[in-house]
Amino acid sequence: MKQPQPPPLLLSFLFIFLFLFSNITSLTLTPTPSPTSSPSSSSTLDPKQVRALQSLNIPTSKDPCSQPSYHNATVCDTATPFRHLISLTLSNCPSYVALSFTALKSLSTLNTLHLLNCPVPPIRFPPELISSLRSFTALNSLRRVTGAWLSQLQNLTDLTVTNVQVKATGPYVILAHMNNLQSLTISHANLTGSLPGHVHSNLTHIDFSDNHLKGNIPTSITILDTLQSLNLSSNSLSGEIPASIGDLISLKFLSLASNSFSGSIPDSISAISGLVHMDLSSNQLNGTIPKFISQMKNLKHLNLANNNLHGILPFNQSFIQRLEVFNVGGNSNLCYNHSVLSSKLKLGVSPCDKHGMPVSAPSKGSSADDSSDDDYSDGNEDDSKHTKEHHHGPNKFVLGVAITLSSIVFLIVLMIMCAKCCR
């Protein structure tokens, strides 16, 4: 007997079901690649550098390359299978931390090392690290270093040493072989000697503030046409400000404050059109204030206080008000034109008389500006007439009192004499 055949439609449905089931099974059994399983993301820090960080008391429970801590910042390269540190900042180091030679040798891939508030013992740099370092900062760290120790970092482009005692006969000992240096700061370092007679032309920033440097400003500094910032404040520098300072055409920040510079303010400064900050205060500068300063459109900070400058202030009110800092006080022979500037500006200098000299100090209860409505008027003649009208002789009331008292005394003496005669 012939067996019944299944309907064609049922066979079609069965075939489709088996096909779908086989595909679903294959999708379920095949693992989907995880984004974290790529070779680059699985790369971790070199084990030698991990041990070096642990010796510096830097937590390594998390990957220092992906999650640097707030106080100890790290930057890594993208090498495989192990990444390497290229930047390390150590902040607020505990007293027991020491930068061992072994640890630093393991960190020889660093091109940036910053020490902030880390009074660690002196460091002995391995040659590999000396060769790789491009930026070194020691802020209130290392206790004390020598110029010879700093000079070994010959490949630096950026050197910052602040609030660290530096024992050296002068900056040249440090800088002689730093041919690639672009930014230089050695401040609050008790540095002695004179400014270097030769510096490299790549420098854009120089800061020798708060040291004990002596002598004048050498030509080597004034020919740096790429220099943008020059801070020589709070030293013992002397002599005149060289006229060649006008060759610093890229300069934006200039501070020569708190030295012993003498002479006049060079007219060549007018060539530095981009100057924003100029501080020449607390020196022995003399002469008048150049008029070109009022034409320096980018200037925001001007401090000429505590010098021996004299004459009439060559600035109008609009120039002074657009400045963020303006100070000319402490120049006893400097004065301002009352018809141009208001006393409300509180300039720290007196108004001028008609001869362009400071008027005498105002009497108590009156202001200097009440002495004259126009500093250049002929008001002195009226003042002299006014004075004469009020000084014709002694006051009449005082004279009358004196005569009365004299008469009384005379009568008393006369009565006593009469009484003696009657006896």
321-359, pLDDT tens digit by residue? 999 999 999 999 999 888 888 777 788 888 888 777 888
Q: How confident is residue 398, by pLDDT bands cut at 50, 70 and 90?
A: low
Q: Count the neighbouring beta carbons within 10 Å of the beta carbon of residue 201.
A: 11
CB half-sphere exposure, 91, CA atoms < 13 A: 8
Q: How confident is residue 172, by pLDDT bands cut at 50, 70 and 90?
A: very high
- Ranges 92-106, 189-203, 389-403, 406-420: which has the least confidence: 389-403
Element (H or E) spanning 318, and its range?
helix 317-322
**pLDDT at 104 (0 to 100):** 92
Q: How confident is residue 148, by pLDDT bands cut at 50, 70 and 90?
A: very high
**pLDDT at 382 (0 to 100):** 42
CA dist., res. 139 & res. 60, Å (int): 25
Q: How confident is residue 416, by pLDDT bands cut at 50, 70 and 90?
A: confident
pLDDT averaged over the chain? 81
Confidence check: pLDDT of 367 > 70: no
- Ranges 150-154, 326-330, 384-388: which has the least confidence: 384-388
DSSP 194: B
**pLDDT at 295 (0 to 100):** 94
Alpha carbon distances (Å) from 379 to 144, 317, 334, 373: 65, 25, 21, 9
Task: Determine what percent of the chain is predicted with pLDDT higher than 70.
Answer: 77
**pLDDT at 6 (0 to 100):** 54
Q: How confident is residue 168, by pLDDT bands cut at 50, 70 and 90?
A: very high
In terms of CATH architecture, what is 114-351? Alpha-Beta Horseshoe (3.80)
**pLDDT at 4 (0 to 100):** 53
**pLDDT at 72 (0 to 100):** 67
Is pTM beyond 0.85? Reply is no
Confidence check: pLDDT of 316 > 70: yes
| CA 214 centroid distance within chain | 21
Q: How confident is residue 304, by pLDDT bands cut at 50, 70 and 90?
A: very high
The residues spanned by each domain of the chain are 114-351
Phi/psi region, residue 219 (left: phi>0; alpha: psi -120 to 50; beta: rest), is alpha
* 290: preceding bond cis by omega (within 30 degrees): no
